[in-house]
Amino acid sequence: MVLILLGPPGAGKGTQAVALADELDLVQISTGDILREAVRSGSELGKKANSYLEQGLLVPDPIMLDLIEEELKLHAPDTGVILDGFPRTLAQAEGLTGLLARLGMNVDAVVSIEIDDATLVKRLSARRSCPQCGAVYNLVTNPPSTDSTCDRCGHHLIQRDDDHVDTVRERLRVYHTQTEPVVDYYRERSLLKEVDGTGTPQEVWERIVKILSKQDNG
Ligand code: AP5
Expressed in angstroms and rounded, the spacing between residue 77 Cα and the centre of ligand 1 is 26
**Contact 8 CB / ligand 1 (< 6 Å):** no
Look at 13-17, 74-78, 112-116 and tell me which has the smallest mean pLDDT: 74-78
**Contact 182 CB / ligand 1 (< 6 Å):** no
Look at 1-15, 65-79, 166-180 and tell me which has the smallest mean pLDDT: 65-79
Which ligand 1 atom lies nearest to the CA of residue 129? 44
191 band by pLDDT with thresholds 50, 70 and 90 = very high
Q: Give this prediction's pTM.
A: 0.94
Best residue for ligand 1 mutational test, from 18, 28, 35 (most atoms within 8 Å of Cβ): 35
pLDDT above 90 as % of the chain: 89
Tens digits of per-residue pLDDT, 5-27? 999 999 999 999 999 999 999 99
* Residues 6 or more apart in contact with residue 168 via CB below 8 angstroms: 9, 10, 56, 120, 121, 124, 125, 162
